[in-house]
Amino acid sequence: MRYDLHDFRVFSNIAEEKNLTRGAARSYLSVPAASQRIKHLEEALGLKLLLRSPQGFELQPDEHRRSFVNDWLEEHLQPVMDKLDKRLRHFYGFDFARSGDLSIFLPVAERSNLVLAAPFLLELRNVPFRQQEQILYWCVDRLPRFSGGKHDARGNGQFLAEYAIQKYGPLRIEAVMPSQAWYLANMPVMKAAFEDRTFEIPRDADVKSDFRQIRTVRGVPLVPDNAHTRGVDGGQRHGDAAIAGCLAIAAAKGEVMEFGYRSAVTERGGLDRTDDDEARDWWNSPLGAGLRGGL
């Protein structure tokens, strides 16, 4: 993907204004043109990918949503996946949100020197529940030597964590209910990884801002409930990348087993979930699920 210095100027203007519309105006561009410039820059540098679902997307038929998301993944994310080092173990952290805040999928590769490097960061804004599940499976199935993942299982995130456990096995996936004790045990580990330069994340203004939302509250490092910010796209954030990063490091630091897991219910048949979700017709996803990315 080609880009020029004007792309960086547009990105800088939006970051400084902390607003897509004002940043576009400052760059003498329309909002769609500025958004396209940012998308090209993200793709060229292999940094942050943002998937935004179109208005009313959650009301579209299942097959339309699945096809739309799959086409986006194949176009924007498959080239990144193709460049992953097949020799390295990969882990991930997933911070879930349906609307308002973001869902963030943050994979890390464990290099031979034990540095954990995130090859990309995928943000989902207003993505329907079923499409978040679709995206998670698509990504994890393509991570080389996938060895473990951790999910923020608070609220609606519990459903996706549970499905991931069923698909990839409880020895590789953990549904985390972050508590003060969990933060106290894991946030200092992430801080030490930054200080030791053994944790590398995409260089992005929004991601940097997310990590800066971590505060020490009564001796516990965490993202406070009121730590809301606005990203360069104008959308709300809540330290989402910081939570995903902490989960990813915890997944990599945990005891894991690398093996080929196949669900027992898949072997027996009958209870296995199908692509069109007919096996889950007893559950209807709430309206308003959202995606985050450059569509």
> In the prediction, which pLDDT does 58 show?
67
User: Does 157 reside within a domain?
Assistant: yes
Q: Is residue 292 part of a domain?
A: no
Domain containing 35 equals: 1-45
Report the CATH number that the domain containing residue 93 is assigned in CATH: 3.30.420.240
For every one of its 295 residues, what pLDDT tens digit does the chain have, with 9 covering 90 and above? 444 556 667 777 776 776 778 888 888 888 888 877 776 666 555 455 555 555 666 667 778 888 888 998 998 899 999 999 999 999 999 999 887 678 999 999 999 999 999 999 999 888 888 999 999 999 999 999 999 999 999 988 999 999 999 999 999 999 999 999 999 999 999 999 999 999 999 888 889 999 999 999 999 999 998 888 888 878 888 889 999 999 999 999 986 555 554 555 444 444 444 444 443 333 333 333 333 333 3
**Domain termination residue (choose one: 45, 60, 81):** 45
**Tell me, what's the pLDDT at 51?**
57
Burial code (b: 16+ CB inside 10 Å, e: under 16) for 42-60 equals bbebebbbbbbbeeebbee
**207 and 133 inside one domain:** yes
Which of 295, 294, 293 lies closest to 105 in space, CA to CA? 293
Q: What is the pLDDT of residue 13?
A: 79
Positive or negative, the CA dihedral 178, 256, 249, 100 is negative
10 plus 38 within the same structural domain: yes
State the pLDDT at residue 262.
54
Distance of CA 197 to the CA centre of its chain: 22
Confidence (pLDDT) at 28: 81
Same structural domain, 86 and 9: no
Beta bridge partners of 124: 51, 103
Residue 287 lies in a domain: no
CA atoms lying within 13 Å on the CB side of residue 230 = 11
Note whether 119 and 181 are same-domain residues: yes
Whether 29 contacts 7, CB under 8 Å:
no
Residue with tokens 């990599």, as numbered in its chain: 252
157 CB-contact burial (10 Å; exposed 0-12 / middle 13-18 / buried 19+): buried
From the centroid of its chain, how far is CA 189? 20
Domain boundary among 9, 25, 45: 45
Q: Which residues pair with 115 in a beta bridge?
A: none
Domain shared by 33 and 104, yes or no:
no
Asked whether 256 and 147 are in contact (CB, 8 A), the reply is yes
2: three-class secondary structure by DSSP: coil
Count of domains forming the chain: 2
What is the C-alpha separation between 103 and 16, in angstroms, rounded? 24
Alpha helices by DSSP H, listed for the chain, are 5-17, 20-26, 31-45, 62-72, 78-82, 129-141, 157-168, 180-195, 205-211, 240-253, 264-268
Confirm whether 107 is domain-assigned. Answer: yes
Residue 36, both tokens:
């396209």
Domain boundary (10, 30, 45) is at 45
Residue 88 is predicted with a pLDDT of 97
Structure-block tokens of residue 19: 């607003």
109 domain residue, yes or no: yes
